[in-house]
Structure 1
Amino acid sequence: MSRMSTWQEFAEQAPELAAQVRARLEAFQHHVLATLRRDGSPRVSGTEVAWRGPDLVFGSMPRSRKAVDLQRDARFALHANTGAPEDMVGGVDAKVAGRAVEVTGDEHRAWVEEVKPPSPDSHLFRLDLTEVTTTGVAEDQTHLVITRWTPTEGVRVYKRA
């Protein structure tokens, strides 16, 4: 299994990249979450994310398909909403991947009291990160700039024509 990090650990290791990705995630309310169905095929769902302490988290309706998928196989990929094409000017496309860990017990109860989700049985997942990637176009518009972070390799930048 790949090494994982909390959002805070990622932000401490790669503050500029974390700020870029957080800005993309905060620019829009809705994002696309990919999970794995029982047969291994992908499922995409809309989701909203938030920060809770050192963690990037999201909630889910009780027994939703994405929650059941993640309870069975915690692997996920989250693609930040890119918005309209003009919203990407000077911006980056952002993705995070890792394992979603369901939060239970006292921490879940505190979240329910604070956030007041539609149901007290709503799920809360902490996103442990194995990879964060941004893709953008270079200022001179001649190539893509892909920035990738992993807990083991840190930040690496790739240029692709």
Structure 2
Amino acid sequence: MTTSWQDFADAQPALEATARSRFEAFRHHVLATLRLDGSPRTSGIETTFKLGELWLGSMPGARKAADLRRDPRFALSANPGPGTDMVGGDVRVAGLARWVGDPATLARFADAANPPEPFDLFRVELTEVVRTSVDESAQEIILESWRPGYTAIRVQRRGNGADQPAESWSAVPRATAGQGDET
């Protein structure tokens, strides 16, 4: 199951704002794609939020674009920024990157984003959003994850010991109340 960035924003506005701010804090991020032989490839990439969507752009002929056109599965990690404190946490998304060949959509995007031309364009369909942060006082790593179809965010808290992570589900946002919690 996949969903658009706008649907994610509607379902989980607080996590969406955090994820978006991490991607908008820096221009370059790290994209993982699959090579023809199935092995992973990582590449630098710029992301853009326009027209209610998350877009990935590439120079025509780039290996990452060829990878995505052949197999649209990807993972994208937001640039953590300078130093090691990762203010705002570490954010990753995964999903399918759909190549855009429609001239009208390309023109709308170009008007909104003014990218260098020519370009290959991919619209992101999300399968997962994950934020990792550190609670220094509790000495725990906190993983918040969301997937399409879920009305809540899964929260795992893990310390440095051998104990299993503590797991909970966040409160269901008002916008989705009554739809049932799919835990």
Instruction: Structure 2 unaligned segments of length 5 or more: list them.
Output: 160-183
Choose between structure 1 and 2 for higher RCO, CA contacts under 8 A separated by at least 6 residues.
1
- How large is the Cα RMSD of the aligned pairs? 1.5
Distance 2:28 2:61 in 1: 20
- Aligned partner letter, 2:139: T
- Aligned partner letter, 2:75: A
Q: Note the 1:49-64 alignment, pairs <5 A.
A: 49-64=47-62
Aligned residue pairs total: 157
Find the partner of 2:100 among 103, 111, 130: 103
Query: Taking every aligned residue pair, what percent have the same amino acid on both sides?
Result: 48
The corresponding residue for 2:8 is 10
TM-score, normalising length: structure 1: 0.91
Distance 2:8 2:112 in 1: 25
Aligned CA distance change for structure 1 residues 115 and 8 (closer, same or farther; 3 Å): closer
8 A contact 2:50–2:113 mirrored in 1: no
Q: What is the CA distance between 1:113 and its match in structure 2?
A: 4.8
Distance 2:51 2:110 in 1: 15
Which range moved further: 80-89 or 99-108?
A: 80-89
Find the partner of 2:134 among 125, 133, 137: 137
8 A contact 1:130–1:151 mirrored in 2: yes
The corresponding residue for 2:91 is 94
The corresponding residue for 1:127 is 124
Distance 2:25 2:90 in 1: 12
Distance 1:31 1:40 in 2: 22
- Aligned partner letter, 2:137: D
**Residue 33 of structure 2 aligns to a residue in which SS?**
strand
For residues 42-78 of structure 1, give each alpha carbon's deviation from its aligned partner in whole angstroms, at most 9, with x where no partner exists: 1111111111212100211012101000000000000
Distance 1:98 1:78 in 2: 9
Instruction: Structure 1 unaligned segments of length 5 or more: list them.
Output: none
**Residue 137 of structure 2 aligns to a residue in which SS?**
coil
